[in-house]
Amino acid sequence: MADTNFDIIIIGAGPGGYVTAIRAAQLGFKVAVVERQFLGGICNNWGCIPTKALLRSAEIYHYMTHAKDYGLAADNVKVDPAAVIARSRGVVNRLNTGVGFLFKKNKVTLIKGEATINAPGKITVKNYDSPLVNMPKDALGAGSYQAKHIIVATGARPRTLPGLEPDGKLVWTYFDALAATKFPKSLLVVGSGAIGIEFASFYRTMGAEVTVVEVLPQILPVEDAEIAGIARKQFEKQGMKIMAGAKVTKLDKKADSVAATIEVNGKAEQITVDRVIAAVGVVGNVENLGLEKVGVKIERGVIKVDEYCKTSVPGIYAIGDVAGPPMLAHKAEHEGVVCVEAIKGLHPHPMDKLKIPGCTYCHPQIASVGLTEQAAKDKKLDIRVGRFPFMGNGKAIAQGEDQGLVKVIFDKKTGQLLGAHMVGSEVTELIQGFVVAMNLETTEEELMHTIFPHPTISETMKEAVLDAYGRVLNM
């Protein structure tokens, strides 16, 4: 008979769950992971990874249609929606196989099904019938299992609002938007966070007429206002229609289109589009886990945890989206590592949420870490702000990507780097330089004495630091 006793059982095989399992196994724990649908979770299957594959296709298409800007010619450039989606799904399948391999390599036991916590240390797994299941055939199945430590890593799902309920045909969630074999000619995106803007950018590049509606006065609401403003101008230059401070009050579904009523500045206007994407955030998967029954405290739809991911019940922990914002895969992974290292008694540093980078992979890209300028002012901090535009960078100009900005915020008294914000080509790859600097408690003096290679776009980072102290060289 299969062994049902473990040191740690993790519920959920998303990026948080599977990374936590691997680290726990490295630390010598006997580990099992319960997953009801697919290895890699939403991130690998219907989120981070497939969207980046789609956006890469859009990027290549953009360059092909602008070949003349680079002294080249590309004739009869066309989009094959089915092939674009198929490539994206192929990337997903490759990564799913990789997660399964890592489980076997690290001797992590996989249990297929839906878990319920009956009591601290005890769970029941029942069969879960879903056409999306991609479990290895040798995974364990339904039954009762025990572990001293149970970690909930069940992730999140798309939030729905009254009147914007998705139907899979006319009103989409990101699940539907990732699997459309026929691309719409017109699209309404409700919500301008990372998910909404990425899909708006993808479909606009592929030729759709795109309208984005955001209830707040600023698109990309969590970003620095100056950076969001630059991004908005670039989106509008690409032909995207942005309606901020607006809300969708009604959707009238037709046979193959939707008439949307939008209220902005106290006035109502109507547009008709082929499809609508509801991108109004996500909500934690806290239901049907038995959490309330065993006394785990839930606040505002997420599990309340301490700095080491402990819940209100000893022996039960929570990480990732289900444990609250920011709802990011890399936050889930790091939380999981902190959690199991604390269980092992290694005394890890608690995660500092101000040092978690955020990235949006639209065109142009947006990346940030730490305090925005307004947040620093709200804290009554005495700050220095530095800026450097891409138009002053040789590599950006050579690449034809001279529209962008790097912005840095320092504490005037101590030289501490409080925040960094970027918009432009490949900034999602650059932001980690500032994340490392913040973790090392680097000051402006050390950054100014760091040698950046030339020619690279990364030189904008140093120039922005120099600008904060009146020493900018190339502008």
Q: Which pairs from 124-131 meet CB under 8 Å and 24+ separation?
A: 125/34, 128/36, 128/37, 130/36, 130/37
Of 333, 394, 466, 416, the C-alpha closest to 43 is: 333
Judge whether 329 is annotated as a binding position: yes
Please tell me whether 262 is known to bind a ligand. no
Q: In what order do the strands lie in the sheet with 405-411?
A: 358-360, 365-370, 417-424, 405-411, 383-389
Domain 171-280, architecture per CATH: 3-Layer(bba) Sandwich (3.50)
pLDDT in tens, 273-297: 999 999 999 999 999 999 999 999 9
Average pLDDT of the segment spanning 409-424: 97
Q: How confident is the model at residue 1 (pLDDT cuts 50, 70, 90)?
A: low
Query: Does 90 belong to an annotated binding site?
Result: no
Residue 323 marked in a binding site: no
Q: Is the pLDDT of residue 383 over 70?
A: yes
Q: Minimal CA–CA distance to 271: which of 291, 254, 296? A: 254
**CA max distance for the chain:** 71
Q: Is 64 annotated as a binding residue?
A: no
DSSP secondary structure of 27-74 = TT--EEEEESS-TTHHHHHHSHHHHHHHHHHHHHHHHHHTGGGGT---
Cβ–Cβ contacts within 10 Å for residue 384, how many?
A: 18
Domain ranges of the chain: 5-47+84-157+283-353, 171-280, 364-468
Q: Is 354 annotated as a binding residue?
A: no
**Reported confidence tier of residue 201, pLDDT bands at 50, 70, 90:** very high
* d(C-alpha 161, C-alpha 31), whole Å: 38
Q: Which two tokens stand for residue 200?
A: 């708006």
The listed CATH number (3.40.50.2000, 3.40.630.30, 3.30.390.30, 3.90.1310.10) that belongs to domain 364-468? 3.30.390.30
- 163, 173, 212, 203: which is closest to 185 by C-alpha? 203
281 belongs to an annotated ligand binding site:
yes
Instruction: State the pairing for strand pair 109-112/31-35.
Output: parallel
Report CA torsion sign: 328, 330, 334, 337.
Answer: positive
- Asked whether the predicted pLDDT for residue 133 surpasses 80, the reply is no
Over range 316-326, report the average pLDDT: 97
**Does 52 carry a binding-site annotation?**
yes
Rounded to an integer, the average pLDDT of 335-356 is 97
CATH number of 5-47+84-157+283-353: 3.50.50.60
* Residue 347 assigned as binding residue: no
Show which residues are catalytic.
Answer: 454
pLDDT band at 436 (very low <50, low <70, confident <90, very high): very high
Label residue 129 by pLDDT band (50, 70, 90).
Answer: confident
Q: Alpha-carbon distance 463 to 474, whole Å?
A: 7
pLDDT in tens, 16-43: 999 999 999 999 999 999 999 889 998 9
**Any binding-site annotation on 195?**
yes
277 annotated among ligand-binding-site residues: no
**Cα 14 from chain centre:** 13
Evaluate whether 5-47+84-157+283-353 and 171-280 have a shared fold: yes
Residue 27: CB partners within 8 Å, gap ≥ 6? 340, 341, 344, 346
* DSSP assignment string, 294-342: HT--EETTEE---TT-B-SSTTEEE-GGGG-SS--HHHHHHHHHHHHHH
Considering only CA atoms, give the Rg of the chain.
24
Q: What is the mean pLDDT of residues 240-249?
A: 97
Distance CA 281, CA 193 (A): 8
Query: 290 a known binding residue?
Result: no
